[in-house]
Amino acid sequence: MKNNGLPLFYSTPQVLRFEDHKDLVLERKQDFSFAAKTNAVPLSPVEFVPASRHYPIVFVKGDSLPTAVAVTGLKEGQNLFVDSDGKWREGTYIPAYVRRYPFILIQSEDKSQTVLGFDGSCDRIKSASEAEDGAALFAEDGKAGEATAPMMEFCNSFHQSSLRGNDFAKALAEQNLLVDKQVNMSFADKSHYRLDGLLVVDEERFRDLPQDVLIDWHKRGFNDAVVLHLASTQNWQTLLDLNEKAAPAKAA
């Protein structure tokens, strides 16, 4: 995951304002092309149940706390779940971080409030005259429009889940449970690739946690999250299989 000081996917985040954006709409047709070259997507613990069915769930080092991510590709710049038409693989869970785009909560400079913003570089946001089928960002009276009204609630819910995710990551770090993990892969064409920079929970350390910590974690749902994280390792094979299917066919 790249870190250029901006949130993943967002090139030009800006606050949504009626006076500036009243004529803009969001095209209804979904297009996940913006995530086609991302091999890891942030996850909150509340997503571990559906995500663990399809992705390996690991952690990556952050500025202050580790971040849980769903691994979507085996190589840098590869997302095996987004096809050339920008469609997410049918029948697989789409992380909330992806579904939130192009909207995002932006904190005021004094950090006293958060407001809804969007990525100005998103191809789906256009003027109403340019869009074939668009949902308005604003209603005529200046209130949230069809496209933004549900996203305000979604982004707020996502923010709260992210805060709980921070609590989970902090608890893992405090108990020194996360260890470095390298994934070495051998492909059918006999090439090799190593995915590093990953962190995983050390299972033995987890099982040796003091009883009072385990009881507290049980109440907070952290034990379940750890178990789902550990169980998700079975999905590395899923990625290998998808990578094999995506590989270009050899010439006869």
The answer as to whether 20 is a domain residue is: yes
| Whole-number pLDDT of residue 141 | 92
Instruction: Give a yes or no: residue 2 inside a domain.
Output: no
CB 32 within 8 A of CB 80: no
Residue 52 and residue 231 in contact, taking contact as beta carbons nearer than 8 Å:
yes
Query: Read out DSSP for 76-125?
Result: TT--TTB-TTSPBPTTS---HHHHHTTEEEEE-TTSS-EEEEEETT-TTE
- 7 lies in a domain? no
The whole-number pLDDT of residue 246 equals 81
- Please indicate, yes or no, if residue 162 is contained in any of the structural domains: yes
Residue 1 lies in a domain: no
Q: Is residue 63 part of a domain?
A: yes
Please give the residue range of the domain that contains residue 212. 13-244
By three-state DSSP, how is residue 13 classified?
strand
Q: Exposed, middle or buried: residue 18 (CB in 10 Å: 0-12, 13-18, 19+)?
A: middle
- Evaluate whether residue 3 is within a structural domain: no
**Domains identified in the chain, total number:** 1
Specify the pairing of strand 67-71 against strand 114-119. unpaired
Q: What is the pLDDT of residue 163?
A: 94
Tens place of pLDDT per residue across the chain (252 aa): 444 578 999 999 999 999 999 999 999 999 999 999 999 999 999 999 999 999 999 999 988 899 999 999 998 899 999 999 999 999 999 999 999 999 999 987 777 788 999 999 999 999 998 988 999 999 999 999 999 999 999 999 999 999 999 999 999 999 999 999 988 877 767 777 788 889 999 999 999 999 999 999 999 999 999 999 999 999 999 999 998 888 765 433
Residue 172 located in a structural domain: yes
Tokens of 205: 């350390």
Helices 222-231, 211-220: axis angle to 10 degrees equals 90
Of 70, 36, 66, nearest to 165 by C-alpha is 66
The confidence score (pLDDT) of residue 248 equals 63
Give this prediction's pTM. Answer: 0.91
Closest CA to 95 of 65, 62, 71: 71
